Structures are given as structure tokens and as C-alpha cells.
Amino acid sequence: MTKAIKLLTALPQVQRERLMELAKEVSFPEDTRIFEAGGNADRFWVIRSGAVSLDQQVTPTQRVTVASLGAGDLLGWSWLFPPYQWDFGAVAFSQVRAYEFDASAVLAVCVEDPLLGLSVVRTVAEILAHRLETTRGKLMEQYSSRGRSVI
């Protein structure tokens, strides 16, 4: 399994500094719901400390945790793709400190600076690919632990 990609450390320094000009420091107390699936995806965060669980509502009364994120991880990518709605929910598993970015401001800077835009899109795509690979691995483990062969 490959190492997790971190948005801020993956960007070249000049581009990282430009992006950080748009950052706002925020915090979320433990057990705070940060966003809900289907909500308006108009921002994203880079976690500085703490842990966030991504979840999916599977029945009216049950949620399943699909990923856990920590320091350096990107929280939220739906701001980058239409229809700009969260695909999952997110809850602070512990006290969380993060950098918050307004999506429209970041997108405007990416249009002004196409190299920054390309770097952001590529890095987010790499993060998504890594998360998909991790999820696939977990699903295969669960499936094979039930005594079924994996094709």
C-alpha cells in the first residue's frame, strides 16, 4: 500500500504559500458533525491535529465509517466537482484543528494561476486514488475473512 498523500506537502513551496494565503484556522470540538452527505460543498480543510471520521448513512438509523483522517489529511474534495455536494458525512472523532479554505476563492486563484490549478487537481486526484485503493483493500480483507475467495 502506498503512503498517504498530503495536499500541502505535495504542492511545490511557491504554490503551497499561495494557497495558504487563503487559509483560515478553525477548530471543531469532539463529536461535532462537520458536514453531511448531500450538503453544499463550498469549502475544504487540511487537518492540523485531531481525527475525523468520514461516514455514510446506510439506513435511517445506521452510519458506517468509511475512512479516518488525521494530521495533514485533506478533508473534503466534493468542492472541486459538480454538483458540489458532499458524498459522505464527516464528524470530529476528537478535538480537531484545521486550515479551512473557501472553495470559490481557491478556484478563482487556480483560474488565475493555471500551474497552481493543475497542481491542486493532480494532488486531489492522487489523494482520491490512494483512498480508493485503501478502501478496496479493506473490502477485500472483509470479503476474504468471511471465507470467500476473492476474484
Give the tens place of pLDDT for each residue, 70-90.
Answer: 999 999 999 999 999 999 999
Provide the residue range defining the domain that includes 60: 7-145
2 in any annotated domain = no
The per-residue pLDDT for 149 is 52
98 in any annotated domain = yes
> pLDDT-derived band of residue 1, with 50, 70 and 90 as boundaries?
very low
CATH of residue 91's domain is: 2.60.120.10
1 in any annotated domain = no
Sequence-distant (6+) residues with CB within 8 A of 136 are none
For 122-146, what is the mean pLDDT?
81
Between CA 129 and CA 150 the distance in angstroms is 21
> With pLDDT > 90 as the criterion, what percentage of the chain qualifies?
68
25 in any annotated domain = yes
135 in any annotated domain = yes
150 in any annotated domain = no
151 in any annotated domain = no
Phi, psi of 83 (to 5 degrees): -90, 15
Average pLDDT value for the chain = 90
24 in any annotated domain = yes
Residue that wins the pLDDT comparison between 148 and 106: 106
Q: pTM of the entire structure?
A: 0.87
| Count of domains observed in the chain | 1
The per-residue pLDDT for 86 is 96
The model's pLDDT over 24-61, given as tens digits with 9 standing for 90+, comes to 999 999 999 999 999 999 999 999 999 999 998 888 88
